[in-house]
Amino acid sequence: MLKALQSPLRLMLERLELLFDKPFGPPWNPMRQLGTLAFFFFWVSAVSGIYVFILFDTSVSGAYPSIEYMTHEQWYLGGVMRSLHRYASDGMVVTMVLHLLREFSLDRYRGVRWYSWFTGVALIWLLMLSGISGYWLVWDQLAQYVAIGSMEWLDWLGIFGEPVANNFLTRGSLDDRFFSLLVFIHIFGPLFLLFAMWIHVLRVNRAKINPPRGLAFGSLAMLVVLSFIHPALSHPPADLGTIPTELGLDWFYMFLYPAFDLLGPGALWALSFGLTLLLFVLPWLPPLRRAKAPEVFLEQCNGCTRCFDDCPYGAVIMQPRSDGRPFLQEAVVNPDLCTACGICVGSCPMSTPFRSDAKLVTGIDLPTLSLDTVYERMTAAIAKARMERNTERPGILVVGCDHGANISTVEGDATHAISLPCIGMLPPSFVDFALSDGAADGVMLTGCSDCDCHHRLGIVWTEDRMAGLRDPYLRKRVPRERLHSYWAGPGDLAALEDELQRFRDRLIENGT
Amino acid sequence: MSSSVNVYFFIAPLIVFGPLFLWLLYSFGLREIAKIPGEIRRQNKLNSEKEDRFERERARKRGRGPVGVVRGANTSVLGLFAQAITYAWFAAVVGILASSPPYFFSAPEDAQIKLSLSHPGKRKVECRLRSREELAKLPPNMRAPKDCPRERWPVFVELEVDGKRIFAKSAAPKGIANDGPSIFYQAFSVPAGPHRLTMRLRESGNEGFDFRRSETVTLDNSQVLVAGFDSASHSVFFK
Ligand code: HEM
Ligand code: SF4
Ligand code: SF4
């Protein structure tokens, strides 16, 4: 049931991602940067908002003319700032919705990630409050319509003695005091939003908050150009003695208002509350079956902190040594934060196959897929590859992950694959081992799409380890031309196969 | 009318639900992070700072890795051109939906009647003097000579336009002791032009109505007319 919802959505979004990969390149692909883009649009909106506020008159009678002034007299700066303020907020809605759909379709909202999802739902309300309250301040016909609609909606709750909508009953009903309250809401709404955005990523270790410079620059340029050629304009001034007729709604924020006119406040409360509630409990419908968290084997752990550094979920903390061995610290895993991605296993310097022990024991290991099992599977795959290889067909070991392209389909013809929970679980020494003494002719690493690791940091850490930037390094002696990587998502299988073929050709050319 | 709502009505939900929500998040989502003892936390902070220094170093060198296909940002002329087209497309979506397609809230030849009134019904039981015996039974600090039960009658309001009844509702008094005003708020769309309006209001348990008004008004295009009750002159008004 859940899959039936997720899969088509995922397919659609993936199409879009692959489409954007070509012109942008994965690091700048906006579809892979939706959360950071939403943050960026917030900052654009905040900065332009401060400028607009300087020119804004906070009285009922002064608000509209002050905005007309910045739009028409000071169009080159005030007008542009006003437009930036509007369009960046709209951009936030677009990126937020896509971000939500994407996290949902990729199943990145259950298990330990419930926290980000749960706080994300609150962000929807805060963003809506921030945007809608901004439209009140223009005090044009749109503001009048939206303000009265909002107040009637609130009044349905019956918690205010007098209907709040009575503040908009007749000409002269709206006083400066109430108008300052609206201004107050529009200042504190976004501040709360920012606070909540901070809370939203609090549990995400090394969260990416800022988009890459190229993408930030491009999006800003886009907003500025849009602001010049299609500046934000006001409706005619509000007049509480008349009803507005035709309204140019900002559909990103006001999509519910026509529904309100149609269905009435009660139905709309039911709808918005019901939907919010559904979103809130979604991570437990059904809950993610969590794999067991890794165990630390103290006799192997020397307290080097690498697993602590590499865990994308902050699930490892270092504690004072408890077993009397002469090290300062030891690793301790908090199962409540762990996704069993295995990245810590790949980071442990003790995870090496070049040992004489009968069973491979490392400092930190997954109970469900121990490094020893990985070792067995890898040697079996290499053995099969060796049997089938010939001069035309180099023996290749493919290491992939459970969230990327389905690598079992590339099996055969001297190519054999193993899959890990995350490519970051692969210790570099395993690559060394696979290529030493000509065990395999080549090793191909793959996982999720570029810049889009399911466990966020698995790909980056792997690349860094192979490039000698991050402990544990891939040793210098490993012939780099026999190692290859291509980050292919589930929808990118064809590209992976092409790349694999190219790798084969290269290996043959190099005479392996 | 003066605004009877103060800032606190808006802040109150935040003050009540904000901390509740934060507490929830804290106890289920953050405590496991926050409960780490101070000494260990300090040590881990040192660990992270060390790591952060390395990480900054790495970030500079990254993307030029010697392995595999590093698909970096596309900065070719063709790539930038294609990006510009993508941005234009996004901007078009944002620019267009930010103010169109238009929504027709009300036809230009329509007008609106807004019924809004807040009126306390009569008390259900009139105040009466307590007898001596009754007073003697009460504790000394509660011996008020008058007994005034605070409960009020619901208010009933009827609105007719051109002889057709478009609104008839009884509203219970607000307040826990049913001692507040009864509140009505509803908007009706009518064609502009002359209309015969009749409003009747009952504030007690009597038969019939305590207040009424009938008037012919001419509504302009898009005009808003308020039908209400003026507590100063004690009468129904159309304005
Ligand atoms: C104002 C709007 C929002 C902003 C600025 C925002 C920003 C972010 C950022 C920066 C991340 C971290 C990404 C990373 O480092 O990988 C993130 C993750 C996430 N967000 Fe949002 N977000 C917003 C709204 C939402 C909403 C509405 C939802 C869903 C209801 C949501 C659900 C998630 C989830 C599930 C994660 C994944 C956390 C993880 O991978 O552990 N977000 N968000
Ligand atoms: S398995 Fe993954 S989430 Fe769990 S402790 Fe190791 S790195 Fe962290
Ligand atoms: S990486 Fe291995 S040795 Fe280092 S602290 Fe973690 S478990 Fe111990």
pLDDT in tens, A68-77: 999 999 999 9
* Among candidate residues A281, A310, A329, the one where a domain is terminated: A281
**Residue A72 sits in the same domain as residue A195:** yes
What's the gap in Å between A487 CA and the centre of ligand 2? 21
CATH of the domain at A223: 1.20.810.10
Mean pLDDT of A480-501: 88
Q: Select from B86, B100, B108 the Cβ nearest to the Cβ of A248.
A: B100
Of B205, B209, B234, B214, the closest CA to residue B119 belongs to: B234
A176-200 vs A34-55: helix crossing angle, rounded to 10: 160
Amino acid at residue number A89: S
Chain B partners of A232 at a C-beta cutoff of 8 Å?
A: 98-99
Between helix B77-97 and helix A213-229 the angle, nearest 10°, is 50
Q: CA A355, CA A375: separation in Å to the nearest integer?
A: 12
Residues A266 and A354 grouped into a single domain? no
Q: Return mean pLDDT, chain A.
A: 92
Looking at chain A, the whole-number percentage of residues with pLDDT higher than 90 is 70
Question: Is A164's Cβ below 8 Å from some Cβ in B?
Answer: yes
Q: What is the pLDDT of residue A85?
A: 98
Question: What are the φ/ψ torsions at residue B3 (nearest 5 degrees)?
Answer: -80, 125
A377 with A305, same domain?
A: yes
Output the CA A460–ligand 3 centroid distance in Å: 19
* In the predicted structure, residue B9 carries a pLDDT above the cut 70: no
A305 and A277 in a common domain: no
Question: Who's near B99: CB < 8 A, 6+ residues apart?
Answer: A232, A233, A248, A249, A250
> Are A260 and A322 in a shared domain?
no
| pTM of structure | 0.89
Q: Tell if the CB–CB gap between A245 and B107 is shorter than 8 Å.
A: yes
What residue numbers bound the domain in which A366 lies?
295-509
The verdict on A243 and A334 lying in the same domain is: no
CA dist A381 → A279, A322, A332, A360 (Å): 43, 39, 33, 18
Q: How far is B25 from chain A (nearest CA, A)?
A: 8
pLDDT-derived band of residue B8, with 50, 70 and 90 as boundaries?
low
DSSP characters for A290-340? Answer: PPPPPEE-TTT-----HHHHH-TT--EEEEE-SS--S-SEEEEE-TTT---
> Would you state the pLDDT for residue B129?
82
Whose tokens are 């490892």? That residue is: A316
Is the pLDDT at B176 greater than 80? The verdict is no
Task: Say yes or no to pLDDT of A86 above 90.
Answer: yes
pLDDT of residue A413: 82
Cβ within 8 Å, pair B71-A181: no
A300, A363 in Cβ contact below 8 A?
Answer: yes
- Longest Cα–Cα distance of chain B, Å, equals 103
Instruction: Closest CB to B66: pick one of A94, A245, A467.
Output: A467
- Distance between first and last Cα of chain B: 13
Rounded Cα–Cα distance for residues A331 and A301 (Å): 7
State whether A246 and B82 contact (CB < 8 Å). Answer: no
Answer yes or no: CATH 1.10.3470 is held by domain B110-124+152-238: no
Strands A364-365 and A295-296: antiparallel
Please give the residue that has the higher pLDDT: either A172 or A457. Answer: A457
Which tokens is A446 given?
């793959």
Query: Is the model more confident about A202 or about A218?
Result: A218
**Residue A287: Cβ-neighbour burial (10 angstroms; 0-12, 13-18, 19+):** exposed
B100 Cα distance to chain centroid = 26
User: Does residue A422 have a pLDDT over 90?
Assistant: yes
H or E stretch including B186?
strand B182-191
Residue B43 CA to ligand 2 center (angstroms) comes to 20
Write down the pLDDT at residue B64. Answer: 54
Greater pLDDT, B32 or A344: A344
pLDDT at A311 over 90: yes
Q: Is the pLDDT of residue B121 over 90?
A: no
User: Is B162:B195 a contact under the CB 8 Å cutoff?
Assistant: yes
User: For residues A78 and A234, what is the distance between their CA atoms, to the nearest angstrom?
Assistant: 14
User: Which residues, at least 6 apart from A100, have a Cβ–Cβ distance to it below 8 Å?
Assistant: A120, A124
CB-nearest partner of A226 from B33, B95, B111: B95
Q: Which atom of ligand 2 is nearest to the CA of A366?
A: 1
* Positive/negative CA dihedral, A390, A393, A394, A396: negative
Cβ contact (<8 Å) for A24 and B74?
A: yes
The reply to whether A482 and A358 lie within a common domain is yes
Contact in structure between A432 and A475 (CB atoms under 8 Å): yes
Of the residues A226, A253, A281, the one at which a domain ends: A281
Tell whether A167 and A263 lie within a shared domain. Answer: yes
Q: Concatenate the DSSP letters of all residues of B10-66 into one string.
A: HHHHHHHHHHHHHHHHIIIIIHHHHTS-HHHHHHHHHHHHHHHHHHHHHHHHTT--S
In a domain, residue A268? The reply is yes
Domain count, chain A: 2
Task: Let me know the angle formed at the C-alpha of A147 by A146 and A153, rounded to the nearest 5 degrees.
Answer: 90
The angle formed by the CA atoms of residues B173, B179 and B180, to the nearest 5 degrees, is 55
B25 vs A165: CB contact, 8 Å cut-off?
Answer: no
Percentage of chain A beyond pLDDT 70 is 100
* Tokens linked to A196: 């909540």
Q: Reduce the DSSP state of residue B192 to 3 states and report it.
A: coil
Q: Which atom of ligand 1 is nearest to the CA of A121?
A: 30
Relative orientation angle of helices B77-97 and A2-24, to the nearest 10 degrees: 130
Q: Residue A497 belongs to what H/E stretch? A: helix A493-509
Q: Do A356 and A498 lie in a common domain?
A: yes
The DSSP 8-state label assigned to residue A79 in this structure reads I
Q: Which residues line ligand 1 (CB under 6 A)?
A: A 35-36, 38-39, 96, 99-100, 103, 108-109, 113, 116-117, 120-121, 123-124, 127, 197, 200-201, 204, 207-209, 279, 456
Lowest mean pLDDT among A104-118, A286-300, A372-386, B145-159: B145-159
Residue of chain A whose Cα is closest to the Cα of B29: A115
**Virtual torsion, Cα A340, A342, A344, A347, nearest 10 deg:** -170
Residue whose tokens read 């969590």? A290
Res B1 pLDDT > 60: no
Question: pLDDT category, A390, cuts 50, 70, 90?
Answer: confident
Of B3, B43, B65, the CB nearest to A318: B43
SS (H, E, C) A101-145: HHHHHCCCCCHHHHHHHHHHHHHHHHHHHHHHHHHHHCCEHHHHH
Residue B93, C-beta contacts closer than 8 angstroms, at least 6 positions apart: A94
Query: What is the C-alpha to C-alpha distance for residues A405 and B190, in angstroms, rounded to an integer?
Result: 62
Put simply, the answer to whether A122 touches B103 (Cβ < 8 Å) is: no
Which pLDDT does position A34 carry in this prediction?
Answer: 96
Q: Residue B159 is inside which H or E element, if any? A: strand B155-161
- pLDDT of residue B33 exceeding 80, the answer is no
| A191, amino acid identity | L
So what's the pLDDT on residue B10?
Answer: 64
Return all residues near A182 (Cβ < 8 A) that are at least 6 apart: A133, A136, A137, A147
Tell me the per-residue pLDDT of A259-283, one tens digit each, with 9 for 90 and over.
999 999 999 999 999 999 999 999 9
- The structure tokens 């400028």 sit at A51
Average pLDDT over residues A418-435: 94
Helices A176-200, B7-25: inter-axial angle, 10-degree rounding: 10
Helices (H), chain B: 7-25, 31-34, 38-61, 77-97, 132-137
Query: What are the residue ranges spanned by the domains of chain B?
Result: 7-47, 110-124+152-238
pLDDT for A169-188, tens place per residue?
Answer: 888 889 898 899 999 999 99
Residue A287 lies in a domain: no
**Sign of the CA dihedral with A254 first, then A260, A261, and A262 last:** positive
Verify that A342 and A307 share a domain, yes or no: yes
The half-sphere exposure of A416 on its side-chain side, counting CA atoms within 13 A, is: 19
Tell whether A466 and A325 lie within a shared domain: yes
Which amino acid belongs to residue A6?
A: Q
Task: Examine residue A8 and state whether it is found in any structural domain, yes or no.
Answer: no
Q: Are residues A266 and A384 in the same domain?
A: no
Name the band, by pLDDT with cuts 50, 70 and 90, for residue B3: very low
Residue that finishes a domain, picked among A253, A281, A309? A281
With an 8 Å Cβ cutoff, is A281 touching chain B? Answer: no
Examine residue A397 and state whether it is found in any structural domain, yes or no: yes
Query: Shortest Cα distance from B131 to chain A (angstroms)?
Result: 36
- On the 0-12 / 13-18 / 19+ scale of CB atoms within 10 A, A490 is middle
Optimal mutation site among A465, A469, A486, interface B, most CBs of chain B within 10 A: A469
Residue of A113, A130, A146, A166 to mutate when probing chain B, most B C-beta within 10 A: A166
Q: What is the 3-state secondary structure (H, E, C) of A18-60?
A: HHHHHHHCHHHCHHHCHHHHHHHHHHHHHHHHHHHHHHCCCCH
User: According to the model, what pLDDT value does residue B67 have?
Assistant: 54
Residues of A in contact with B120 (CB under 8 A): none
Question: Are A491 and A425 contacting, i.e. CB atoms less than 8 angstroms apart?
Answer: no
B157 contact partners, CB below 8 Å, separation of at least 6: B115, B117, B167, B168, B169, B170, B171, B184, B199, B200, B201, B202
Chain B hits for A305, Cβ within 8 Å: 47, 50-51
> What percentage of residues in chain B have a pLDDT greater than 70?
92
Segment B184-210 shows an average pLDDT of 90
Q: What is the pLDDT of residue B68?
A: 55
CB-CB under 8 Å, B9 with A160: yes
Q: Name the closest residue on chain A to residue B223, using Cα atoms.
A: A242
ipTM: 0.86
List of residues 6+ apart from A413 with CB closer than 8 A: A388, A393
Residue A99 contacts B where some CB pair is shorter than 8 Å: no
Of B189, B215, B164, B193, the closest CA to residue B112 belongs to B189
